[in-house]
Each structure stands twice: as structure tokens, then as C-alpha cells.
Amino acid sequence: MRLAIIFGGQSTEHEVSIASATSIISALNKEKYEIFPIYINKEGKFFEYTKKVREIKPLEVGEKINELKPILNIFTYLENIDVIFPVLHGKNGEDGTMQGMLSLLNKKYVGPHTLASSLCMDKEKTKLVLKSLDIKVTKWLTLKKGNDGYLYYDQEYNSYQLDDHLLKEYVQKEIGYPLFVKPANSGSSVGVSKITQEDELIDKIEEAFLYDDKVLIEEAIMGRELECAILGDKDLIVSPVGEIITDNYYSYEAKYKNNNSKTIIPHDIPLNIQEEIRDIAKRAYQGCGCVGLSRLDFFLENKTNQIILNEINTMPGFTNISMYPKLMAKSGFDYSTLLDKLIELAL
């Protein structure tokens, strides 16, 4: 089987994608697949990764690749490929753009299709769909840049012009501190800030606007950060519940640089809560139209044990420290078997 692995890309998660893809390539059965690694640089140009496939080893986040040969026409290059694994995180990869291109080419590929990928990439639109499914989400405000100040959108999408002073007042009234400011379309916590006082608000909003033209202000939940992995299409395999342990919040640095976070499979969450989380994950996955795989991120509120769904990742990290493969291993799929199953689902 001729299998293309597409990785890199133009998003802020470029380096994470390289780490995920090299880990996947290293683990794939070289007798079963003829592997074609395809790298996209930060300018959006396609290259063959010409290093011998059997010599490709997992790279750490931040390590670069050099053995590259330009692909002059990606459409021609993909003509004889049987299935594609787009190991792309974030914008122009996980957000439906690559999935749309592959669908136009009538190519089979791993992971959710165009609509689900696009929907789940937009944190605001995901919340609106989840609310329609009676799934609890964090309280939020939506902002865009206005001609003079900011445009606030309510959940009926009426817009209101707010200057800095009015915005601060409104945020204090509707959300309160601490809170999170985040780009609506971004991943790996890039551009996300936790704010504990009002004088930080405007600077962090402007920082988030560097990554997207829409910004969310969300309440901070005092509770545990839990995750659930799903594999499949019609017959779903829903993993046990995993937990992120970190000093503050699960930032990009905590995930990939500082090593001050860890992922565990907790044993102290009551079974009825675990089952409820898994049931919500399944309903959200199906309600958003996901197929193949996704990782769903939850909060479990400290005082009330209320379950809150934070977001859905349609192409979760596949590095050696990533939660998705760890959770699926607890469901009986070791790393190589998991990859085989994902490719099989795409065919």
C-alpha cells in the first residue's frame, strides 16, 4: 500500500507536526506500507522528505529536517498514492483545508472530513454546536476587531462596539477573573493566556489577535483537566479517561518545553463520572460529525463535579508524550496497531 504522510505546515504547530509525523513514520510497518513522507514548509511549499524511511527516527519538538527535495506539482505527486495521513495540527491542515483538497482529488485520508475538521478547529462554533446538544461548555465572549475598539458578538450574533473601558466592564460583569484569552482558531495553547487581573486584559487580547481574527474570552474553571480519546466511525472505541497534571495551565511550554506537566490515567475518579465523560465524548464526536479519531478535552469542576467539555482535537498530537496514543494503548491498541487501524478506517 502506498501511504503518504503529510506534515509540517504553516500553523504555529509546525514543530509539533514534525515530531508527530517522525514518530508515526518510525512506528509504521515498513513491510506493509510503501511510505512517502511529504513536508510542507512554513511558506506552504511541498517537499519530499528524502531521508531513507527506515532511518527516520522520532524527533523532539523543535528539531528540524534538512533532506528535502521540492515537489513541483503536489496533485500529480499524489496521483498514485492509495491513502494519506495528514499529520497536520492547526491552521491550513487540521481545519478542513487539507481535507477539502484531498476530497477534491478523490483521495482517501485518515481523520475527520472537511466539515468536522473546520467546525472543531473553531472553538466558538464548536461551543455553539455542543450547546445545541445540551453539553456543558465554559462561559465565553467572542471578540473581533472593530473600526474603533472591539466588536463583541453575543450568542445570537448581534454585534456591539466596545472601547477598552466598556470591554473591561463587560468582561468583569459577564466572566470575572481569573479568565482565559485565546485565539478562536489555534492549537497547542499557542496564543492562550491566563489572566488574573484587569490590567492584563487588553495586552493579552491583542496578543491573541496575532494568531487569529477572532478571540474568545472564557471563564477559568477551577478543576481537573481530563481527556478522552475516540477511535472509529460507526463502531466507536472510547478510551478510559486521562488527566493532565500541570503547575498552572496546559500551555505550549508546559506541553513541549518545560517538562513541568505529565499525563496520567487516574484511578480516583468515580466510575459513574468516568462513564458520563465517555458518554458525553461519544455524543460530541458524533454530533460534530467526526470520523477516524479525535481527542476531547474536559474540565471536572472541583466543588460540583460538573463535567465541562472544553474542545475537540481532530488531529491530536502523536508524539511520544501525546495523550491520544497513550489513551488508546489503554484501550488495547499499541502504537503500531493504532496506526494500522486508523489507516484501515480511511480505506
Q: Is the peptide bond before 178 cis (omega within 30 degrees of 0)?
A: yes
**Boundaries of every domain in the chain:** 2-109, 121-136+222-346, 140-219
Give the architecture (CATH level 2) of 121-136+222-346.
Answer: 2-Layer Sandwich (3.30)
What pLDDT sits at residue 262? Answer: 74
C-alpha cell at 94: 487540521
* Predicted pLDDT at 187: 65
Q: pLDDT at position 320, please?
A: 74
pLDDT of 59: 96
CB 37 within 8 A of CB 26: no
- pLDDT for 248 equals 63
Cα(46)–Cα(98) distance, rounded to whole angstroms?
13
**Nearest-CA neighbor of 294 among 256, 244, 239, 243?**
239
End-to-end CA distance of the chain: 11
CA distances from 135 to 72, 115, 130, 183, 303 (A): 46, 20, 5, 22, 19
Q: Look at the domain 140-219 and name its fold.
A: Dna Ligase; domain 1 (3.30.1490)
pLDDT at 251: 46
- For 107-168, give the secondary structure using H, E and C: CEECCCCHHHHHHHHCHHHHHHHHHHCCCCCCCEEEEEECCCCEEEECCCCCEEEECHHHHH
Model-level pTM? 0.92
The domain at 2-109 falls in which architecture? 3-Layer(aba) Sandwich (3.40)
Is 138 within 8 Å of 123 (Cβ atoms)?
no
If the chain, 347 residues long, is cut into consecutive pieces of 10 residues, what is the mean pLDDT of each piece? 97 94 97 98 97 97 95 97 97 95 98 98 96 96 90 86 93 95 82 94 95 95 96 96 77 51 82 97 98 98 95 92 93 96 97
